[in-house]
A and B are shown apart, each in its own frame.
Chain A
């Protein structure tokens, strides 16, 4: 293990952080915009609304992201109608392909997370809002969504973390984000330990920052910090003691 190489490669790989963050946040935003209406459709009692969304989330959550990315990056070019359309300018570019793949994939997971939150909002809240005279859209916007969002925040935070990790797949379609840079660097120096460990440290830093941010957000939104949930620890240790 060469410590100086580890440090210099960390600095080099840090050049990939902006692209990793851009991919993460852009697809996070697009995924969120897509997921909120889809989640309401998925939670609706009308079969014609919820079943198509279920099909979408089922297929996107049931296949690897790598396959989805390759279908978009390599596969769409096979259709000549797409190649001759205006969209081809975007779909030729690996960056936009990654963005599309990550957004669609992330939206599928986010939809299912939000659906759980929406369905968990108690009926009394909705009835109260109706009694006050709110329109269905107002109820969704002012009552259901804020409550649902708060209750699913921990799962949503997990989804954001997995999105950061998923952006590493962008390296397979030639993008030079953290993983792409590290693979290039390894093929030049053939020092896999130092360089991949440096990349891992950078990702770990990013995920720690995001976890911290979501913890803060959670405490802010809930007013008070959540109680540490480790109730039975003492008893278990007693079992191990004997």
Chain B
């Protein structure tokens, strides 16, 4: 077990990095998609609606497998020889796509729950639509979206474990290797679950802090 401590640390780093990168990218994608969903162009709104509905109706594992193996086939065809896609990259792409879909629906709901008076007030002050979005809608919307976003981020941390199925050496993969080589699956998987529990607890703590920081007194 001792020799595996170092590997668990590097697996932990991979998991955290994967969750952070795909969380940030997914949040950006979610914001764009939510804006698209609320746009006046019906085609854009419909397209984004398709995206969020399809992604949320299909298991994450299928999306990961599709992007990993599909990406391998596409890039191999492009280069004319067998090229395997980097598992981390495939993980970032698939988790971003998934997180973006859920974040889009969260942001959309939050924007819709902002009182209309706020937007009318911004307009009557002569703010440009861009300013209205940036200065009035976005700050209020983020505060409303925070609890749901916290849940989704915790799901994201847990979903990173699925990338081990396509060969990324994260916490889960290190545990699987250790379990196989030392014939002690229970010990290794319990260690992995302790690490994941620590990560999700940390995420919960950070989001609770954020919620308290951005809370409006008296509301």
Interface SS majority for chain A: helix
Query: For the complex, what is the distance from the CA of A164 to the CA of B133, rounded to whole Å?
Result: 37
Check if B65 is an interface residue, CB within 8 A of chain A: yes
Query: For the complex, what is the distance from the CA of A165 to the CA of B57, rounded to whole Å?
Result: 8
Contact of B185 among A64, A66, A78, A182 (CB under 8 A): A78
* Chain B neighbourhood of A76, CB < 8 A: 186
Q: Mark A47-58, 1 if CB is under 8 A from B, else 0.
A: 000000000000
* Chain A neighbourhood of B158, CB < 8 A: 63-65
Query: For the complex, what is the distance from the CA of A64 to the CA of B189, rounded to whole Å?
Result: 11
Check if B80 is an interface residue, CB within 8 A of chain A: no
- B172 in contact with A66 (CB, 8 Å): yes
Q: Given A70-B189, A204-B58, A242-B129: A59 and B197 within 8 A (CB)?
A: yes
Q: Please give the number of chain B residues whose Cβ is less than 8 angstroms from any Cβ of chain A in the complex.
A: 56
* Chain A neighbourhood of B177, CB < 8 A: none
- A203 in contact with B116 (CB, 8 Å): no
- B119 in contact with A193 (CB, 8 Å): no
Q: Please give the number of chain A residues whose Cβ is less than 8 angstroms from any Cβ of chain B in the complex.
A: 54
Check if A197 is an interface residue, CB within 8 A of chain B: yes
Contact of A67 among B59, B60, B165, B196 (CB under 8 A): B196
Check if A240 is an interface residue, CB within 8 A of chain B: yes
* Chain A neighbourhood of B164, CB < 8 A: 66
Q: Mark A152-172, 1 if CB is under 8 A from B, else 0.
A: 000000000100111111011
- B116 in contact with A204 (CB, 8 Å): no
Query: For the complex, what is the distance from the CA of A59 to the CA of B162, rounded to whole Å?
Result: 18
Contact of B172 among A64, A164, A190 (CB under 8 A): A64
Query: For the complex, what is the distance from the CA of A22 to the CA of B120, rounded to whole Å?
Result: 52
Interface centre among A59, A62, A79, A229 (most CB of B within 10 A): A62
Q: Given A62-B200, A168-B59, A193-B73: A75 and B185 within 8 A (CB)?
A: yes
- B189 in contact with A67 (CB, 8 Å): yes
Instruction: Output the nearest chain A residue to B133 by Cβ-Cβ distance.
Output: A239
CB neighbors of B among A76-98 (8 A): 76-79
Check if A120 is an interface residue, CB within 8 A of chain B: no
Contact of B58 among A200, A233, A242 (CB under 8 A): A200
- A197 in contact with B176 (CB, 8 Å): no
- A172 in contact with B190 (CB, 8 Å): no
Instruction: Output the nearest chain B residue to A234 by Cβ-Cβ distance.
Output: B116
Instruction: Output the nearest chain A residue to B122 by Cβ-Cβ distance.
Output: A239
- A67 in contact with B192 (CB, 8 Å): yes
Q: Given A166-B59, A240-B129, A242-B129: A74 and B200 within 8 A (CB)?
A: no
Q: Given contacts A232-B113, A233-B38, A235-B120, could you give 19 more A-B pairs where the C-beta distance is less than 8 Å?
A: A59-B193, A65-B158, A66-B164, A68-B193, A71-B189, A74-B186, A75-B189, A78-B183, A168-B62, A169-B61, A169-B162, A192-B70, A192-B72, A196-B69, A197-B66, A199-B62, A200-B54, A230-B112, A239-B119
Interface residues of A (CB under 8 A from B): 59, 62-68, 70-71, 74-79, 161, 164-169, 171-172, 179, 182-183, 186, 190-193, 196-197, 199-200, 203-204, 207-208, 229-233, 235-242
21 interchain pairs, CB-CB under 8 A? A62-B154, A62-B197, A62-B200, A64-B196, A66-B161, A67-B175, A76-B186, A164-B59, A192-B70, A192-B73, A193-B70, A196-B62, A200-B62, A203-B58, A204-B58, A231-B112, A231-B116, A237-B38, A238-B119, A240-B40, A241-B129
Give 6 nearest A-B pairs by CB, closest first: A192-B69, A75-B186, A168-B59, A74-B185, A64-B161, A165-B59
